Amino acid sequence: MKLDDWRNLPSTAMTPVYEAERLRWAHSLQWDLAPTLRTLERARADGTLPGLVVRGPGQSVVGWSYFLVQHGVLQVGALHARTADGVRLLLDAIFKTPEASLAHEALLFVYPDSPACESALQRRRFAVTRYWYMRRMIDRSCVAATDPRLQPMRDLDGPDVVRLLSRAYAGVPAARCFAPHGRIDEWAQYLSQLTHGTALGRLVAEASLVAPGDQPGRLHGAAVVTDLSASTLHLAQLAVDPGARRGGLGARMLDAMLAFGLTRQRSVATLLVSEDNLPARALYDARGFVPTGYFLHAERPLGRRVLTPTVPSVSRVSA
């Protein structure tokens, strides 16, 4: 197996790779990845997004990954290889890139294409958490009475939503996927990606809601809803202030999303939830969502030991 910088490849070499990925997401997740792949290809072709490919027989691309470093954090957005050896090869090569030398920790959020990915990450001493991809059909049972306390989210709600996310996720391990250190600037960047980016679908402003609280600027809840395809509505974020929990607000915002989907001819609702987020999982179970796949979130500090192959001391002694 041979590695190449993906920026050296012509677009035609990447076309079949993207097409396979687009079909995989469409079939398994009902997620139209085409807008994200177009953004990736633009950044790859203009040289701003580092990445690597693994070459197989006949120079075909049999593995690929891309990554970037922001604020000292190496973020890996895809990690594809057919075998655990291929995944480890990619990881070790990423760690050796000039970009990675600027990072002090590594974070991944990927949709793995084989169990090899999770085991390879564990072998490289990443802490790995599964995020269940959950789905339910939108059917006639999704009719819900309109809750007049819920209002459409507007641009000017942004700062209040950021503060709500920071309060709602304080002490929740799953938050590391969104705001790795829980800083308010990380939450602001995360919300901006949700509302203006395509990585988690396109924002559906009419279905994204806020629940005003008793004091100005202090929301009780918020739901961010996106489109993953013409038929799939995605709950990209749901948060309730700790002081407003267990009063049914989370469930009402979820019901409002399902009711919106019913009136707009969407057939499927999806969301992602961390395996250790038991309150949220209880809510989604109660509303009929079932897991249909998983993403992996993985993190580890970066140090020189990452690159050092381990030689079992026993074999040295016995040699």
Q: At residue 194, what is the residue type? A: L
For 169, the token pair is 């996720």
- Helix, strand or coil for residue 34? helix
47 makes contact with ligand COA (CB under 6 A) = no
Amino acid of residue 241: D
Residue showing the smallest CB distance to ligand COA in the complex = 250
Closest of 68, 50, 58, 47 to residue 16, by C-alpha: 58
Q: Which of 248, 290, 303, 307 touches ligand COA (CB under 6 A)?
A: 248
Name residues contacting ligand COA, limited to 9-28 (CB under 6 A).
Answer: none
- Tell me how far apart the alpha carbons of residues 165 and 149 are, in angstroms, rounded to a whole number: 19
- Interacting stretch for ligand COA, rule CB under 6 A, among 45-53, 60-68, 85-93, 273-281? 273-281
Question: Is residue 175 a contact partner of residue 153, using CB atoms and an 8 Å limit?
Answer: no
Q: Give the largest CA-CA distance in the chain.
A: 76
Residue 280 binding ligand COA, by CB under 6 A: yes
Show contacts with ligand COA in window 228-247 (CB under 6 A). 238-240, 245-247
Cβ 233 vs Cβ 261: under 8 Å? yes
Q: How far apart are CA 134 and CA 163, in angstroms?
A: 27
Say how many residues touch ligand COA, by CB under 6 A. Answer: 20
How many residues would you count in the chain? 319
254 in Cβ contact with 283 (< 8 Å):
yes
Comparison of 40 and 238: residue with beta carbon closer to ligand COA: 238
**Residue 248: CB minimum distance to ligand COA, A:** 4
Beta bridge partners of 27: none
Q: Is 223 in the site for ligand COA (CB under 6 A)?
A: no
- Report the residue number, 35 or 247, with the smaller CB distance to ligand COA: 247
Q: Give strand pairing partners of 291.
A: 134
For the bound state, the minimum distance from the C-beta of residue 197 to ligand COA, rounded and expressed in Å, comes to 18
Candidates 9-17, 61-69, 167-175, 299-307: pick the segment binding ligand COA (CB under 6 A): 167-175
* Residue 171 in the binding site for ligand COA (CB under 6 A): no
Determine, following the binding rule CB under 6 A, whether residue 273 of this chain makes contact with ligand COA: yes
CA dihedral of 208, 78, 178, 256, whole degrees rounded to 10: 20
The reply on whether position 249 binds ligand COA by CB under 6 A is yes
- Asked if 34 interacts with ligand COA (CB under 6 A), we say no
Structure token pair of residue 99 = 């970009």
Residues that bind ligand COA (CB under 6 A): 168-169, 172, 238-240, 245-251, 273, 277, 279-280, 282-283, 286
